[in-house]
Structure 1
Amino acid sequence: MSNVKPRPHLVGASSDYMENMELLADRGIQFKACRNTLKKLCAVGSVCITEDALPAFVEVVPAGISEIVRKQREGYVYVKP
């Protein structure tokens, strides 16, 4: 799991990034988006990304930090970029 700053330019992008993400998803890599961050970005007028606008392989979780804690309890290690 990666905890990186929002990348709104990836949504709807026909780019190498999206193609690579799709290939990784096909190989079992999971991509998750924080619902809290999506709401915050829209509230501050930065960018509004709806859950429907995200690629099908992206799962929206209520809170990214909760997902990190859950994964750590499962034995994953969090490495901050």
Structure 2
Amino acid sequence: MAEDSDNLIYDLRPSFEDDEDGKDADAKPTEAKKVDSDAKVLKPWILPTGNKFLSSEEEKYMRPTHEPFSYFPIIQPEFIMVIGKQ
């Protein structure tokens, strides 16, 4: 499963198509595009770590109830223990 770790990313982004859209650089972004991928996205687990810095309950993020992709070697307790001993 180690080869699958290349699919472990923070967020999905659409592919870059054209840099000439006729908008100023600081223009508001266009509506998000749906991106299909087999990549494992960590964003839902990372965003809630900043909740203590958000003042409004409506702005806070809910952490998923299951653990993120626990089969990746780099997040196994055994792997972390080996790194910590070096």
Of Structure 1 and Structure 2, the greater helix share is in: 1
Of Structure 1 and Structure 2, the greater strand share is in: 1
Q: TM-score under structure 1 normalisation? A: 0.29
Q: Which has the larger radius of gyration?
A: 2
Q: Which has the higher contact order (CA 8 A, sep 6+)?
A: 1
Q: TM-score under structure 2 normalisation? A: 0.28
